[in-house]
Amino acid sequence: MRTLPTRTTVGIVGGGPAGLLLARLLHRAGVDCVVLESRDRAYVEQRQRAGILEQGTVDALRACGAADRLDREGLVHDGVELRWDRRGHRIDFPSLTGGRKVWVYAQTEVVKDLIALQLADGAPLLFEAQVTAVTGADTGRPVVHYRHEGVERTLECDYVVGCDGFHGVVRQAIPDGELRTFERVYPYSWFGILADVPPSCDELIYAHSPRGFALHSMRSPTVSRLYLQVPNGTDPAAWTDEQIWDELEARFAIDGDWKLERGPITQKAVLPMRSFVTEPMRWGRVLLAGDAAHIVPPTGAKGLNLAASDVIVLARAFTALARTGSTAELDAYSDTCLRRVWRAEHFSWFMTTTLHTAPGQSEFDTRLQLSQLDRIASSPHAAAELAENYAGLPVF
pLDDT per residue over 206-251, tens digit each? 999 999 999 999 988 999 999 999 999 999 999 999 999 999 999 9
Rounded to a whole number of angstroms, the distance between the first and last alpha carbons of the chain is: 44
223 vs 176: CA distance, rounded Å: 45
Catalytic residue list contains 302: yes
Strand partners, 184: 275
Query: Which residues of the chain form CATH 3.50.50.60?
Result: 7-77+103-183+274-351
Residue 172: what are its φ and ψ, rounded to 5°?
Answer: -70, -15
Sign of CA dihedral 374, 379, 382, 388: positive
Check 105, 159, 206, 227 and give the catalytic one: 206
Q: Which of 146, 188, 333, 390 is catalytic?
A: 390
* Average pLDDT for runs of 10 along the chain of length 396: 85 96 96 96 84 93 94 96 97 96 93 94 91 90 95 97 95 92 97 96 97 95 96 96 98 94 96 96 96 96 96 97 96 97 97 97 98 98 97 83
Phi then psi for 193, rounded to 5 degrees?
-130, 150
| Contact in structure between 25 and 60 (CB atoms under 8 Å) | yes
Nearest Cα neighbor of 250 from 208, 301, 195, 279 is: 208
d(CA 14, CA 129): 9
| Distance in angstroms (rounded) separating the CA atoms of residues 18 and 356 | 29
Looking at 77, 216, 294, 356, which residue is catalytic? 77
CB count within 10 Å of CB 184 equals: 14
pTM (two decimals): 0.94
- Residue of 127, 144, 168, 191 whose CA lies nearest to 291: 168
DSSP-assigned beta bridge partners for residue 297: none
Asked if 77 is an active-site residue, the reply is yes
- Stretch(es) of the chain classified as CATH 3.30.9.10: 185-272+358-391
**Is 298 in the active site?**
yes
Cβ distance 112 to 26 under 8 Å? no
Q: Which of 159, 298, 333, 356 is catalytic?
A: 298
Measured between alpha carbons, how far is 323 from 315 in angstroms, rounded to an integer? Answer: 12
Q: What is the pLDDT of residues 374-391, one digit of tens each?
A: 999 999 999 999 999 999
Q: Dihedral of CA 40/275/135/310: which sign?
A: positive
**Per CATH, is 185-272+358-391 categorized as 3.30.9.10?**
yes
Correct CATH for 7-77+103-183+274-351 of 3.20.20.30, 3.50.50.60, 3.40.50.20, 3.90.550.10: 3.50.50.60
C-alpha distances (whole Å) from 199 to each of 90, 101, 107, 288 are: 17, 19, 18, 37
If 0-12 CB within 10 Å is exposed, 13-18 middle and 19+ buried, where does residue 69 land?
middle
pLDDT by residue (tens digit) across 69-104?
999 999 999 999 999 999 999 999 999 999 999 999
Name the catalytic one among 27, 208, 294, 302. 302
Quote helix, strand, coil % in the chain, to nearest 5. Answer: 40, 30, 30
Per-residue pLDDT, 122: 79
Report the mean per-residue pLDDT for the chain. Answer: 95
pLDDT at 164: 96
